[in-house]
Structure 1
Amino acid sequence: MSIRNLSPFIRDHYEIHEWRHASAILAADFPNEWADIQATLEGFRLNRSQIITPGGRKSDIAGWLDGQLEARGWREKKFTTQIKVDERTMDAPTHKVDCFKNGVALEIEWNNKDPFYDRDLNNFRLLFDLRAISVGVIITRCSELQSIFANLGRGASYGNSTTHMAKLLPRIEGGSGGGCPLLVFGITPALYVED
């Protein structure tokens, strides 16, 4: 896989998948956003303390990633969309995007139920078709982290029906993202830190 301008650290510490030349689009058309994503990924570590802390609405892990992007000007974004047929206008709401900046949409799926991937990919597909976004990015976890969770006594909290790479890839390969260029980063055990 030829991911453009990707640091060796990210190549060595993340599982990476790409569709429809997403990295080339980011590198050529959105260099600032591409730099933001890479700086966030390079700074991230999967701390033991974050894993053993019970989650709530948003885990410490997702909150850290959100915070790093927010500090670089990314914002949660809800798009207002409508369909007009003759004189009849109907609202066609989309779901909020976790992090959005200048045509790049990024979702963080750390430990949600796996149907959240369907929501994210459908949203990317629709927003791309409407020319509201140019690229969709997902940061999630690798399935291989399960052994770390089990060793920490948290395996049940990170079950098979939650968001991890083995649940995401078949959805993308099956066309759930439509024509939207996609780039997926999976957090691997190489990022784990015993803090």
Structure 2
Amino acid sequence: MGTNLLPQNLLEMYEVHEYRHACSILYEDFSNEWDEIISVLSAFRLYESVITTGGGNKSDVATSLDSHFGQLGWVEKGFKIETNIDGRVIESKTHKLDCYKNRIGLEIEWNNKDTFFDRDLDKFRLLFDLNVISVGVIITRCKELQQQLFKPLGIGGKYGASTTHLGKLIPKMNGGGGGGCPILVFGISNKLFVPDVTGVMPAPAEPRKKKKK
């Protein structure tokens, strides 16, 4: 079992990669979160009005996905870590996860500097080693969107070569950047593109109920 556990429509719309059997773990042990991820990503569309409009610190693409995960109970979450060395307690904090629910950490990287991937993978590695998360999920964009979509729309300058896309993430992940943490990655492809006016993303469908064995 692997990425073939995902619905065919999702495999056609996203470029999917997994590391250390992430799909099987999610499907078998975290079926509710698995269904919610599928629900949100199945409803997601890449609207022209959203990607051509300038944003602030966080893109409308990431904000939209955050919002729909939030409606399903996923929360932004940071963790305080304490290390005891001969009775001396040292406190440190991790960067916040964009979305977290029931031991699943999820990051959305639409158009940040590619060093954010190093931060995400290091965070997954640390939290997995501390037995805080069981799987990490990253949603980003396919490298090919630059030539297939952004340049034809005249917005290629907004998406530089050193920003977050699959071409930057996969070598880092396969090189062991996430340590032993199982990781599932979704790359947003041009098949999700919709020319539009409003850019309103529909609400995700109700996650399917997994039949009891």
| Length-normalised TM-score, structure 1 | 0.98
Q: For 1:119 and 1:179, locate their aligned partners in 2 and report how far apart those are by CA, in whole Å.
A: 15
Which residue is 1:117 aligned to? Answer: 117
Give 5+ residue unaligned stretches, structure 1: none
Mapping for residues 76-115 of structure 1, pairs under 5 Å: 76-115=76-115
CA deviation string 1:79-131 (max 9, x = no partner): 11111112100012211000000000000000000000000000000000000
Q: For 2:56 and 2:153, locate their aligned partners in 1 and report how far apart those are by CA, in whole Å.
A: 18
Q: For 1:164 and 1:26, locate their aligned partners in 2 and report how far apart those are by CA, in whole Å.
A: 23
Q: For 2:142 and 2:159, locate their aligned partners in 1 and report how far apart those are by CA, in whole Å.
A: 11
- Is the 8 Å Cα contact of residues 46 and 193 (structure 2) preserved in structure 1? yes
Aligned AA (2:146): Q
Q: For 1:24 and 1:70, locate their aligned partners in 2 and report how far apart those are by CA, in whole Å.
A: 24
Query: Paired residues, what number?
Result: 195
1:163 and 2:182 matched: no
Q: For 2:128 and 2:2, locate their aligned partners in 1 and report how far apart those are by CA, in whole Å.
A: 23
RMSD: 1.0
- Is the 8 Å Cα contact of residues 16 and 184 (structure 1) preserved in structure 2? yes
- Is the 8 Å Cα contact of residues 2 and 24 (structure 2) preserved in structure 1? no
Aligned AA (2:8): P
- Is the 8 Å Cα contact of residues 103 and 135 (structure 1) preserved in structure 2? yes
- Give how far 1:47 is off: 0.6
Which residue is 2:72 aligned to? Answer: 72
Q: For 1:174 and 1:6, locate their aligned partners in 2 and report how far apart those are by CA, in whole Å.
A: 25
> Which is helix-richer, 1 or 2?
1
Q: For 1:4 and 1:101, locate their aligned partners in 2 and report how far apart those are by CA, in whole Å.
A: 23
Give 5+ residue unaligned stretches, structure 2: 197-213
Q: Give the SS at the match of 2:144.
A: helix
Aligned AA (2:178): G
Q: Which runs of 4+ in 1 moved over 6 A?
A: none
> Structure 1 stretch 119-128 or stretch 51-60: which is displaced more?
51-60
